[in-house]
A and B are shown apart, each in its own frame.
Chain A
Amino acid sequence: MNPLKRYLPLVDDEEAFLAACERPLPYVVRVNTIKASVERARAALDGEGVGYEPADWHPGLLRLDRGSAGATWPYFHGWLHGQEEVSAFPALVLDPRPGERVWDACAAPGSKTTQLSALMDDRGLVVGNDNNLGRLSALRSNAERLGVTNLAVTNQDARNFSLKPFEGARDGHRGRGENGRGDGGGDGSGDGDAGGGGNGNGDGGEGADGEKPADPSFSAFDRALVDAPCSCEGTCRKNPDALDEWTMDHVRSVAGIQKGILRRAVQATKPGGTVVYSTCTFAPEENEAVLNHVLREEACRLVEFDAPLETSPGVTEWDGEEYDPSVERAHRVYPHQNDTGGFFCAKLEVTA
């Protein structure tokens, strides 16, 4: 069964949608601003005669006139990273600031992790987690080539992620928070920034400025990204197998995992902090239904935001189910809208 047919009732232009899904995807690189400015990276591509067209919604995303950039000098220097255009969207929505602590719950192979680091000027801390050790080694080598230094890598099941390694072993830290949120203070750790509670937009007052915070341990994040495992029909332009392998059973089982990971991300983030949920599937079971579940179970709400590219709102009804009306605030990206892969992205605020 071609799963794309399921989603025809959701799209505005069925023919354009199906036609776009058949077309191969342009090859896109993201300029890694940790190592080079967009200008310099473009000059290096010019110097090697590589043609490109910047995405109209983001100057640091370049659509190349060829299928790979691997054998170019700017790639060798880690100035470029091959990344599907639309996959640069969620890190921009998360909008992390230099000096913050950010959790990337499903991080491998690290396209978004390294983008988060770049958005943070490589300051503060990104914790890149994945339960797949093999994929983590790809994340590590990508991060090293791109010159990322503000990354800690963990190998846990994100559904019951423990912050214990980051809490330190001193008295007063031991034995707390192993399975829940840091309660934002009460540990007398002297970490002025973390103790504030409700301060989700980080003032970047600590980090690589020379003055070390008194205590570098912490028990909750400022922001979290859940770029969840999914049934991936949105990647069909790159990987048509995603459609052949599609089954309803897989949708159901992966939705359970998505709910678990997103719940944990809300728990592990400070009140006032931001959590972004993204997938590359069109299935409402894996998107709006997951949000609907987590809205019910955890202290959070969906936040409205503007998307830099053309999108459609989240759907509030599917297959006889109705979802919380606020799921409309999520954004769906269909391939024909911006000539990209398919995508889903939602922004949540942690409320308690």
Chain B
Amino acid sequence: MSENDGQVFDRLPETPDDREVPGRASREEVVEWWAERFGVDPNRFDGYTFWEKGAGKIWILSGDVADPIAVEGLGMAFLRTRQEHWKPTTNAVQRFGRAATRNVLELDGERAARFAAGEDQEVEWDGDWGYLVVAHELAGDLEPIGVGLYLHGELRSTIPKGRRESLAEL
């Protein structure tokens, strides 16, 4: 099995050395990417497995199943790879982004609402460019809203159309 089959989910190889399918990310690289980009402790992903279906889309599954596996869905869409800048999904950041310590941009009430509605906005940010965890204060704690793309002083909202919502300014 050295081809990428779009119909089945294949478990990611443990390390780049275990790679059989060209271009496929390894588990190690995925976990390291979250550590490097967002400061998420690699232990956060203990007990999870990672899967690719189609070219570059990575799913995260709690636990494990037979590999490869032909099912309609497996775990949660997690990360887009096989492109220069890897991109986490909104749902992955909502689920795992609380553990982020780096590249987290906090928005106030009005800006958070605009971000959730899918609007792009100018923001002050002197951290890295690229994909950020965008968060706001909710019920006593910081809560990740989704993924922002920061470039040239502008924060683009990558909230998918179907998830955008017009919400109150808290």
Contact = CB atoms under 8 A, between A and B. Distances in A.
Contact of A209 (B47, B138, B140): B47
Interface string B132-160: 00000011110101000000000000000
Nearest to B162: A141
B87 interface: no
B64 A168 contact: no
Contacts of A59: none
Nearest to A133: B72
A73 B162 contact: no
Interface string A125-157: 100100001001000110111011111111100
B133 to A, nearest CB: 13
A34 B162 CA distance: 21
Interface residues of A, number: 54
Q: How large is the interface on B (under 10, 10 to 19, 20 to 34, 35 or more residues)?
A: 35 or more
B48 A208 contact: yes
Contacts, number: 132
A33 interface: no
A72 B170 CA distance: 11
Given A77-B143, A147-B91, A148-B76, A165 B71 contact: yes
A124 B63 contact: yes
A173 B65 CA distance: 14
Interface stretch (A211-219, A291-299, A328-336, A343-351): A211-219
A144 B140 contact: no
A60 interface: no
Interface string B109-141: 000000010000000000000000000001111
A104 interface: no
A154 B70 CA distance: 9
Contacts of A166: 65-66, 69
B94 A35 contact: yes
Contact of B140 (A43, A72, A152): A43
Nearest to B65: A216
Nearest to A39: B139
A143 B76 contact: yes
B95 A35 contact: yes
Given A43-B139, A165-B71, A167-B66, A144 B76 contact: yes
A73 B139 CA distance: 10
A78 B97 CA distance: 14
A315 B71 CA distance: 39
Interface string A72-112: 11101110000000000000000000010000000000000
17 contacts: A40-B140, A43-B139, A74-B139, A76-B145, A78-B91, A133-B72, A143-B73, A144-B91, A151-B74, A152-B69, A153-B71, A165-B69, A207-B62, A208-B48, A210-B46, A210-B47, A213-B64
Interface of B: 46-48, 60-77, 91, 94-95, 116, 138-141, 143, 145, 162-163, 165-168, 170
Interface of A: 34-36, 40-41, 43-44, 47-48, 70-74, 76-78, 99, 122-125, 128, 133, 136, 140-141, 143-145, 147-155, 165-169, 173, 206-210, 212-213, 216-217
